Structure 1
Amino acid sequence: MPAFSVEVDTELLILVDTTRSIGNREFDNVMEGIARSFESGPVLDVIGDGAIGSIAASLVFWSGSNEQLTAVSWLEVSDLSSAAQFAAAVRSASRPFSGQSAIGSAIAYGAGLFGTETGSLANGFESSFQAISFFGDGQDNNTPGRGNREARIRDARDGAIAAGVDEVSAVLLNTRNPQFQSYYEDNVLGSSGETVPSLALVDPGNVDQIALQQSLASSLSGSLSVVPEPSVILFCGVSGFFFFNRRRC
């Protein structure tokens, strides 16, 4: 770790579901989709529009309450070359878990990885905006604690925001059970109040690349201090299904 911190516009932490309900082919599809998104024009354009013109990104795998692993450590992304480096690291990451689902534990773990902005040890970067992009396919069944499981997720989300995370957005990897939309809206999405977190519904068996590009670009746009009106966008086509929702929390 360097003795100084590199200033970037945004620190983006991607939390990827590796629970048993995600098949290996679906996992591979999602990872390839994330890699391609970082190499895409829309995501690179948002990065370039920042005041500094660079971000730091990291990717963590999650499953049960004690199953979290950093697969890609923090890397600076500022252009196509550095984006390709991050994408290559994503593509080479091996799946470590296939267990239960502890959404709250994953969010709490992720909140501690942003360095001094969230009261943790330095991670080599400093930014004005810290964002979590949460990838999950269903409900929590393993986060420990008191009360119902939804409350445990909200406690973790609210704790992350209180610690200094500016936004928690989500990609719901499940188009078979759209009722999970409200579950993620109510329990996972969160914001410090300056931005509008997004929720995307994506089929992991047939990933729509536009969907992931839009979702990740949205997570990165918070540092631009642009707060759009709540909106719903629906993409339907041969590449799959995408539902994009922005809401105030």
Structure 2
Amino acid sequence: MKSALAAVLLLACLAYSGEPRAADADLQIVLAADVSRSIDDGEFDLQRKGYAAALTDPRVLTAIQARANRAIGVCFVEWSGEEEQQVVVDWTEIRDEEDAATVAAAILAAPRSFMGRTSISAAIDFSIARFTAAKWQAARRIIDISGDGTNNSGRPVTDARDQAIASGVTINGLAIVNDRPNLGYSAHTQPPGGLPLYYSQNVIGGPNAFLIVVKDFNSFADAMANKLAKEIDVAGGAADQRVSWLDAGGSLIE
């Protein structure tokens, strides 16, 4: 009798992990922010504040509430050179304004992680690894890369992109057209054909991949809010690589 009772108690203990099981999310997204040395401190500040503002934007919160599970899993990463990636905010479930505000506050409170070269490929590889640590299951996994320059460190970015796509991950991009790059890295931030073309051909990919282009860091917050809302809204489907621009007022142009 005692052994039977002990077995029941053991099963009860095993069934309770100490934390409630998180519901499945509609989307897992790694927000991967470029903090390389072509981005000066003022631009970095605008970018950080832009991410925080976007996460708490009504457009994003409304998009979350419109999905089946009414939840997304978010991980915020900063990256620079080949060996420079940092989790600033680990996987957090966002269901409502309070959740979003918590993540936004954590982003704003953290110090700048790096100021080195630009390895988009290593950022993609690092982001792929982060999905294994996610607490929620989700049918859609997205890496959201923002940056102002080309890959100049690490393995070819197209190799990393192709590997991510093969694993079922979509990579979306937010290309920041930086006309006054820090330390004069104009060749890096203004490649032949322009940064939007570079991102379209080398960085984004996967089902419903798209790119949003902003003309300066002052437009970042609105662009990121548009981008996040669009990522949450877009259902899975055939690959469709598009470049979406913002007009002078910050509105998305299809």
Q: TM-score, normalised by structure 2?
A: 0.80
1:40 alignment counterpart: 57
1:220 alignment counterpart: 232
Match status 1:133 vs 2:150:
no
2:198 alignment counterpart: 183
Distance 1:60 1:184 in 2: 19
Change (3 A) 1:90 1:230: same
Distance 1:129 1:31 in 2: 25
> Which of residues 60, 63, 71 in structure 1 aligns to 2:80?
63
2:8 alignment counterpart: none
Deviations, residues 49-97 of structure 1 (Å, cap 9, x unaligned): 1111110101111001010010010100011111111111111121121
Aligned amino acid, residue 24 of structure 1: D
2:36 touches 2:116 (CA, 8 Å); kept in 1? Answer: yes
Superposition deviation, residue 102 in structure 1: 0.7
Match status 1:142 vs 2:145:
no
Superposition deviation, residue 46 in structure 1: 1.0
> Which of residues 145, 158, 161 in structure 1 aligns to 2:162?
158
1:170 touches 1:188 (CA, 8 Å); kept in 2? Answer: yes
Change (3 A) 1:185 1:232: same
1:199 touches 1:244 (CA, 8 Å); kept in 2? Answer: no
Superposition deviation, residue 243 in structure 1: 7.2
Match status 1:203 vs 2:220:
no
Deviations, residues 11-57 of structure 1 (Å, cap 9, x unaligned): 11010111110011111111101101111111111111111111010
Distance 1:84 1:3 in 2: 22
2:9 alignment counterpart: none
2:36 alignment counterpart: 19
Aligned residues: 224
The 4+ residue runs of structure 1 with deviation greater than 6 A are: 226-229
Radius of gyration: which is bigger?
2
| Larger helix fraction of residues | 2
2:26 touches 2:139 (CA, 8 Å); kept in 1? Answer: yes
> Which of residues 97, 113, 125 in structure 2 aligns to 1:108?
125
Superposition deviation, residue 244 in structure 1: 5.7
Aligned amino acid, residue 161 of structure 2: R
1:101 touches 1:140 (CA, 8 Å); kept in 2? Answer: yes
Q: TM-score, normalised by structure 1?
A: 0.82
The answer to which of 224-233 and 6-15 deviates more is: 224-233
1:9 touches 1:54 (CA, 8 Å); kept in 2? Answer: yes
Distance 2:117 2:243 in 1: 33
Aligned amino acid, residue 211 of structure 2: S
The CA RMSD over aligned residues, in Å, is 2.5
1:98 alignment counterpart: 115
Aligned amino acid, residue 28 of structure 1: D
Superposition deviation, residue 6 in structure 1: 3.6
Partner secondary structure for residue 212 of structure 2: strand
1:12 touches 1:130 (CA, 8 Å); kept in 2? Answer: yes
Distance 1:27 1:242 in 2: 22
Superposition deviation, residue 229 in structure 1: 10
